[in-house]
Chains A and B, each alone.
Chain A
Amino acid sequence: MLVLALDTASPTVSVALHDGTSVLASVTGADAMHHGEQLAPAIARALAEAGRAMGDVTAVATGVGPGPFTGLRVGVVTARTLGASLGVPVHGVCSLDVVAEQARAEGRDGTFAVATDARRKEVYWAAYETAGDRVRRTSGPQVARAADVAALLGGDVPVIGRGADLYADDLARGEGPSDPDAGVLAALVASGRADVVEPEPMYLRRPDAVPPGARKRAS
């Protein structure tokens, strides 16, 4: 087994390879954003570091967000095209689940939430609870203002992720990872513990566009 995992739902591009036992290589983009530029070289580097070839890949996993659309699409179209080209399955996983799983693996227990940056003073968020070696999503993903998420969760539910870092005044920020790590995503998929969905972006927002109104006068 060789799972190629990638996530582009956060400002940081993350790529990893997992052989069913452990993470063989993990590459993180050097700068924030520029997903379109950084993703393909990161995949090439991960393969080189692991000493594997593209033909060895048996499955592709991709974070499907929610996240800023343009970067997110770079990851999803890359995963779909690789899957179709290599003739291997493509597994989509909610990127917030990946952050939650890492928090669990690092020792977080009980009820918590994950929030990431949705821009426009909003966060993408979901609530989780741990159950043995798994995390279970109990609500979300949704997009909302941080203060509204706090009101919904109640004051004592810790929130982890970049959204909690950004809105520490509104949310009860807890210790944990900021962004999805493709190594964690790869392990989730390789172990069969992922809540797998179609490789389809979780946009959660409609495109910003309104049909034109009455014509503006030129004179």
Chain B
Amino acid sequence: MLRVSSPLVLGIESSCDETGVGIVRGTELLANAVASSVDEHVRFGGVVPEVASRAHLEAMVPMIEKAQADAGVSVADVDAIAVTCGPGLTGALLVGIAAAKALALAYDKPLYGVNHLVAHVCVDQLVHGPLPRPTAALLVSGGHTSLLLVDDVATDVQMLGETIDDAAGEAFDKVARLLGLPYPGGPHVDRVARDGDGTTIAFPRGLTGGRDLDRHRFDFSFSGLKSAVARHVEHEERMGREISVPDVAASFQDAVCDVLSAKTMKACVANGVEHLVVGGGVAANGRLRQFVEERAARHGIEVRVPPPVLCTDNGAMVAALGAAVVSAGLPPSSLDLAADSSLPVTRVVA
């Protein structure tokens, strides 16, 4: 079995609309080549799986070559190939998995199918060094809203809570559309909200009261919030009043950030965790970081947020988790590795 202390690993990511190939040596980032098909999804107002999969096919070999050139290493030199095998869009995942298997075959390298969500946590090791044990992680993107408890990033990860309907990023996209803002909605809502007052409209905080709290203590729900924003906009239109886009955006954004940060703090306290990683594309949201950092400071919790380029989907995070898994001496995946669109976080390696 392979066990290398600072393994050189190439990682491939293709679970959604980013084609990423990264190379790391242990916790050192050597290359992070990413191609995005986001522009092709704009007119559809969301990621179209077939459009994403076609784009992955076109970008895959160019990104593999770019990562090697950027890192100044050849795949021939790496200790292992890692690839996201879930969770994500099946057709999109399959492009990356097939490419990773082809590399493993061509260069006779071990293959590790790894968990996308855990990779989002692990990537922080490339920036802020080894993860303290235990660490909590709040992952927020267009596809996921998850709260994880990570005792060992390679071997011991638990799901504390997740969204029961829309991902937070999806809610940003839908509300942006309601407000006439472009896709993807997150950065636009964030920008517009800076001129608004988040206390103007009391939008609901999902799963924060009564029986919901018993059953879904650390889970999230954003579907009702999105509908509440829609009802508010429609009501104002019926009343013949012009809505204040900045105030609606700010009130919506505060509702999202309030519930995300409040539940995260409760989960940290309940589990005696003093370190928190925030990842995923929505981690770039300024207001979310403000909410989390203010509340974490009150609880004495250290917050680690990777830079935006490592928060959005990328291959370096997959390589980083691959390196952690190789360092832990875990066995590689088999060549018949499958895509698993709902891979649980408890399975770090498939």
Any A CB within 8 A of the CB of B231: yes
Interface size class of A (residues with CB under 8 A): 35 or more
Contact B91–A69 (Cβ < 8 Å): yes
Partner of B43, one of A38, A41, A86, A211: A211
Contact A211–B44 (Cβ < 8 Å): yes
- Nearest residue (CB) in B for A201 is B57
Distance (whole angstroms) from the CB of A73 to the closest CB of chain B: 5
Contact A219-B231, Cβ < 8 Å, known A36-B94, A39-B98, A84-B61: yes
Any B CB within 8 A of the CB of A40: yes
Contact B61–A36 (Cβ < 8 Å): no
Partner of A69, one of B50, B235, B335, B338: B50
Report how far A43 CA is from B108 CA in the complex, Å.
13
Any A CB within 8 A of the CB of B242: no
Q: List residues 331-345 of chain B with CB under 8 A from any CB of chain A.
A: 335-339
Query: Using Cβ atoms and an 8 Å threshold, which residues of chain B touch A35?
Result: 94
Contact A215-B336, Cβ < 8 Å, known A36-B94, A209-B50: no
Any A CB within 8 A of the CB of B51: yes
Q: Which of A41, A69, A84, A215 has the most C-beta atoms of chain B within 10 angstroms of its own C-beta? A: A84
Query: Using Cβ atoms and an 8 Å threshold, which residues of chain A touch B57?
Result: 73, 76-77, 80, 201
Query: Using Cβ atoms and an 8 Å threshold, which residues of chain A touch B61?
Result: 80-81, 84
Report how far A76 CA is from B56 CA in the complex, Å.
12
Tally of B interface residues using CB under 8 Å: 42
Query: Using Cβ atoms and an 8 Å threshold, which residues of chain A touch B101?
Result: 39-40, 78
Chain A, residues 11-41, CB within 8 Å of chain B (1/0): the string is 0000000000000000000000011111111
Any A CB within 8 A of the CB of B71: no
Contact A85–B227 (Cβ < 8 Å): no
Query: Using Cβ atoms and an 8 Å threshold, which residues of chain B touch A218?
Result: 227, 230-231, 234
Summarize A's interface: helix, strand, loop or mixed: helix
Distance (whole angstroms) from the CB of A10 to the closest CB of chain B: 17
What are 30 sample pairs from A and B whose C-beta atoms fall under 8 A apart?
Answer: A34-B338, A36-B98, A37-B336, A37-B337, A40-B335, A43-B105, A54-B105, A54-B106, A54-B108, A69-B53, A69-B54, A69-B91, A73-B56, A74-B95, A77-B57, A78-B101, A81-B64, A81-B98, A82-B105, A85-B102, A85-B106, A201-B57, A207-B48, A207-B50, A209-B44, A209-B48, A212-B44, A212-B45, A212-B177, A219-B230
Question: Which residues of B does A touch, CB under 8 Å?
Answer: 43-45, 48, 50-51, 53-54, 56-57, 60-61, 64-65, 75, 90-91, 94-95, 97-99, 101-108, 177-178, 227, 230-231, 234-235, 335-339
